[in-house]
Amino acid sequence: MRRPWALGMLSGLLTAVISQETVDSAGRRTCTVEAGGTNTTDDAPAILDAFEKCGRRGRVVFEPTTYHVNSVLNVTWLEDVEVDIQGTLLWGTNISYWLENSLDVGYQNQSTAFVLGGNNVRINGHGKGTFDGNGDYWYAWIRQQANTSNYPGRPHQITFNGLTNSVVRGVNFLRSQMWTMSIIYSHNVVFDTILVNNTGNSYQSANTDGADTIRSSNMTFNKWSVYSGDDSISLKANSTDITITNSNFYNGLGIALGSIGQYNDQYETIERLNVYFKTWTDDQNGYPPNGGGGGLGFASDMTFANLTVKNMRGAAVAISQCTRFSGAPGVGNCTNSRFQIRDVTVDGMAGSTKSSRVASLQCSAVAPCANIGLFDVDLRFANGTAASSYL
State how far the Cα of 272 lies from the Cα of 375, in Å rounded to an integer.
19
What percent of the chain lies above the pLDDT cut of 90? 62
pLDDT in tens, 263-277: 777 899 999 999 987
* DSSP secondary structure, 86-111, as one string: -SEEEE---HHHHHHHPEE-SSTT-E
Q: In sequence order, which residues have a C-beta less than 8 Å from that of residue 44 and are 6 or more positions away?
A: 69, 70, 71, 72, 73
On the question of pLDDT at 88 being above 50, the answer is yes
At residue 67, the pLDDT reads 99
pLDDT in tens, 349-384: 999 988 888 888 888 888 889 999 999 999 888 888
At residue 4, the pLDDT reads 39
The dihedral of CA 89, 94, 95, 99: what is its sign?
A: negative
On the question of pLDDT at 293 being above 90, the answer is no
On the question of pLDDT at 124 being above 60, the answer is yes
State how far the Cα of 175 lies from the Cα of 136, in Å rounded to an integer.
7
On the question of pLDDT at 329 being above 60, the answer is no
On the question of pLDDT at 3 being above 70, the answer is no
CA distances 140 to 9, 95, 228, 252, 317, Å, are 16, 11, 16, 19, 32
DSSP single-letter state for residue 231: -
State how far the Cα of 156 lies from the Cα of 210, in Å rounded to an integer.
10
On the question of pLDDT at 283 being above 70, the answer is no
Of the two residues 342 and 312, the one the predictor is more confident about is 342
Indicate the range of 114-123, 176-185, 376-385 predicted with least confidence.
Answer: 376-385
State how far the Cα of 63 lies from the Cα of 16, in Å rounded to an integer.
14
- Mean model confidence pLDDT for the chain: 87
Q: What is the Cα gyration radius of the chain?
A: 21
pLDDT in tens, 203-261: 888 889 999 999 999 999 999 999 987 889 999 999 999 999 999 999 888 888 877 77
Which one of 42, 230, 231, 283 is the catalytic residue?
230
Most trustworthy range by pLDDT among 106-110, 162-166, 299-303: 162-166
**234: nearest Cα among 174, 297, 299:** 299
State how far the Cα of 138 lies from the Cα of 21, in Å rounded to an integer.
36
Question: How much is the pTM?
Answer: 0.89
Band of pLDDT at residue 193, cut at 50, 70 and 90:
very high
Across 31-44, average pLDDT: 96
Across 270-296, average pLDDT: 72
CA distances 120 to 150, 165, 216, 345, Å, are 32, 5, 16, 34
Active site residue 132: no
At residue 93, the pLDDT reads 97
Q: In sequence order, which residues have a C-beta less than 8 Å from that of residue 217 and are 6 or more positions away?
A: 187, 188, 239, 240, 241, 242
At residue 23, the pLDDT reads 85
The full set of domains in the chain, from first to last, is 1-230 (2.160.20.10), 258-391 (no CATH)
